[in-house]
Structure 1
Amino acid sequence: MKLLILDRDGTLNRSRDDHVASPDEWEALPGALEAVARLNHGGWRVVLATNQSGIGRGLFDMASLNAIHAKMHRALAAVGGRVEAIFFCPHAPEDACHCRKPEPGLFEQVAERFGIPPAEVPVAGNALRHVQAGAAAGCPTHLLLTGKSGHLRREVGVPDSALVPGLPTGTLLHDDLGAFADWLLAQPAATS
């Protein structure tokens, strides 16, 4: 089974400083949903791992999060894409849980649920904490230069990974989810 883990905000949809708290605030990034569909059609099962501290902070509730994800699933289906599962951390930062990225808990849950060694599960996201959590779990890591990392592209073009402080060794950089999908689909079958 080919499985990969994506971040949500800033990777699939536009991120907001004040949280995506309702379906009306969820807006797909250009080409992101089509990238998921291409990955699915290439045999990849896609899951999300996302911090949703707005729940723990009382900014929105589970019904709102479910409505956001229902909108996302409909939008993906409209272009032939699918997300298998969504793993999320509802805790506020002060809760010091093991599932809030950059801790590896969500990635460990994914590997356990699907029965796949983390070393065989690539992770891609726009936030440094996403790739740090993936690396801590033992996953191959990919940083997308969108959302929280978009400034890197604007400042220096596509930077060398060595120029990004805190980036796990071996992390590959991609312009966006579409570029990552193109790269992943071009890899030999045994490589992730």
Structure 2
Amino acid sequence: MAEPVSSSTPERVARFIAFATLGTLGTTQDLARITLGSIDDADPELVAEETLCLVSTATARAAQVGLREAPEMAAAAVPSLYDLPFTYRDYLVGGAVITQQDPSLLDANEAVYRRLQRKQEFYAVHLPADQFPGERVLYDKMALWMGRISPPKLPESPTERLHRLDLVPTLLTHLKLVLAFARKGSM
């Protein structure tokens, strides 16, 4: 395990953001993989976008709570975590622009940004600022997420599917790790 975060504020912020980002991307991949493997006809791009927006928003909320005693750290880290869907999209599009040598790909990216913004706003409303999204909240809000990523006319409800796939513990574990790391690093 990495050494505790030093007293240097830039180093503490960088280490925390790196830790939370790795967890966010890994958790997003786990949730998307399980979901896509269990729902026929699910749209992989929709699942990926919705899942990353959900996980990044929940992660930002956990960071807000964990960094209450370090407002300067929170001011830098929380927006970075919340904006991960946009940062990840920039990374993907940038790679495509370089590989294909086609700067026009950047123009098409604006529509995706607007779509991601709407998704982020949805999850921001359902996961209020400065509140840790605990198990009960996650069951409630992840049922909304499951409904948003599921094709119509599936035989079970989003809530039933969420319980069957047992996805809440995956996200909750990630959020507890982020919370603990934030509290440890903000001391």
Q: TM-score, normalising length from structure 1? A: 0.33
Answer with 1 or 2: which has the greater Rg.
2
Larger relative contact order, structure 1 or 2 (CA cutoff 8 Å, min sep 6)? 2
Higher strand share: 1
Per the normalisation by structure 2, the TM-score is 0.33
